[in-house]
Amino acid sequence: MKLFSYWRSLASYRVRIALNLKGVDCDIETIDLLGGDQFEASYRAVNPQPVVPALVDGGTVLFQSLAIVEYLDETRPEPPLLPADPRGRARVRGIAQIASSDTHPLIVPRIRKYLTEDLALSDDELQAWIRRWMGAGLAAMEAHLAAGPGTGRFCHGDRPGLADLCLVPQIVGSRMFGCPMDPYPTAMRIFEACMAVDPIADAHPTKQPDFPADA
Amino acid sequence: MKLFSYWRSLASYRVRIALNLKGVDCDIETIDLLGGDQFEASYRAVNPQPVVPALVDGGTVLFQSLAIVEYLDETRPEPPLLPADPRGRARVRGIAQIASSDTHPLIVPRIRKYLTEDLALSDDELQAWIRRWMGAGLAAMEAHLAAGPGTGRFCHGDRPGLADLCLVPQIVGSRMFGCPMDPYPTAMRIFEACMAVDPIADAHPTKQPDFPADA
């Protein structure tokens, strides 16, 4: 199995956590998003959309982080990343999608580039954009986690799963961009519980082979 | 069952298609996003995130469109919205997520409002933004649909499913914003096939009870 990944891609980070929790060995090939590797013909032949991650399993190329994670969960069921009951599964997927749909797509490199290059946003304006949308996403996740029946040591119960593997990159990314984290005590409490789990801690961007010494 | 929805919400549109394909009767309560209904305390008590859709089934509130659709597919299995094999399921979810994660979140009302009010974008700049990101998403979907093993009369095989119920709103929204559609012949061919299916056609924004006479 081979994962096309980039150390600071938050979507790749989700898949790395899933692979680690499942104990799946996987080669990693770096696609340097800031250097433009995603536009090379060699990568376009793997994934026609110039984004990471992509996962190759045998002859199949999988794309989009949550589709990949669900595939891993269906083909390697232990430990499960989703609860067994439909209501619990919907809650976990819903919390995950707040990160993967409503939050992260707004701050990816191609959007930051468009904002600063095409729209000439200042550094301050870019930071305000990032904090606004990362904050809105975290606030929505916090509301579900703080009020929700179902929240346990992790986002849903006492085993890390699909929602946690979205929450952790969301928080790591938010901190990288200097977002204040005080308004999200439940999310931060769960984040700390996640970081005490070795397979999750090992997926951190700074622990990846392509993390640059001068970053 | 009750769906909190808005006629022009593309995420609500996905869930309406799923409900219609499943033949599920559902009350609709309008949340006028442009009028700010999503910020009212009565709606915040249902969904702490000020977005639609939300689906209430018995005592459970479901949120995030694709989480809701997967829930409907798990609890009302016929007709299925996902194929049976994990590779096919991953392809369908991946195509769906190109729309739901990488495309639609960039053009929702709150983002358009921020761009024009906080960042003072001109009409032309807003149109360029919308066309850029809707176009990028459609191009990625077209690449998968044109090349993919699996494409049939619909996005995957000969029965409409999760990818189609994302593709159709994406195309309706792109046309609403005046995006050129010529570069996406496979997507458009599938769109036309979808529009010939009554449960999909009936979910169109202009056929909703809250579609305003003067729109």
In this predicted structure, what is the pLDDT of residue B89?
A: 98
CA distance, residue B144 to nearest chain A CA (Å): 7
Residues of A in contact with B128 (CB under 8 A): 118
In this predicted structure, what is the pLDDT of residue A42?
A: 94
CA distance B91 to B100: 14
Residues B125, A132: C-beta atoms closer than 8 Å: no
Residues of B in contact with A143 (CB under 8 A): 48-49
In this predicted structure, what is the pLDDT of residue B192?
A: 98
**Nearest residue in chain A measured CA to CA from B63:** A94
Q: Residue B157: is its pLDDT beyond 90?
A: yes
In this predicted structure, what is the pLDDT of residue A215?
A: 72
In this predicted structure, what is the pLDDT of residue B214?
A: 80
In this predicted structure, what is the pLDDT of residue B12?
A: 98
DSSP 8-state secondary structure symbol assigned to residue A103: T
* Number of CB pairs, chain A paired with chain B, less than 8 A apart: 116
Nearest Cα neighbor of B169 from B116, B108, B90, B88 is B108
> Which of A48, A87, A93 lies at the smallest CB-CB distance from B140?
A48
In this predicted structure, what is the pLDDT of residue A213?
A: 80
Q: What is the mean pLDDT of residues B182-207?
A: 98
Residues of A in contact with B105 (CB under 8 A): 101-102, 105-106
In this predicted structure, what is the pLDDT of residue A46?
A: 93
Residues of A in contact with B147 (CB under 8 A): 48
Share of chain B above pLDDT 70, in %: 100
> Which of B48, B75, B121 lies at the smallest CB-CB distance from A86?
B75
- Residue-wise pLDDT for B166-178, tens only, equals 999 999 999 999 9
Write out residues in chain A with pLDDT < 50, as ranges: none
Strand-pair partners of A56: A2, A61
B200: pLDDT confidence band, cut at 50, 70 and 90? Answer: very high
Residues A70, B63: C-beta atoms closer than 8 Å: no
In this predicted structure, what is the pLDDT of residue A98?
A: 98
> Which of A105, A143, A147 lies at the smallest CB-CB distance from B102?
A105
Nearest Cα neighbor of B82 from B98, B97, B93 is B93
Residues B48, A147: C-beta atoms closer than 8 Å: yes
> Which of A86, A97, A106 lies at the smallest CB-CB distance from B66?
A97
pTM for the structure as a whole: 0.97
Q: Which residues contact B33 (CB under 8 A, 6 or more apart)?
A: B6, B8, B9, B52, B109
CA distance, residue B119 to nearest chain A CA (Å): 8
- Residue-wise pLDDT for B104-156, tens only, equals 999 999 999 999 999 999 999 999 999 999 999 999 999 999 997 899 999 99
Classified as helix, coil or strand, A56 is: strand
B179: pLDDT confidence band, cut at 50, 70 and 90? Answer: very high
Residues of A in contact with B70 (CB under 8 A): 89-90, 93
Q: Which residues contact A190 (CB under 8 A, 6 or more apart)?
A: A145, A151, A153, A154, A155, A164, A167
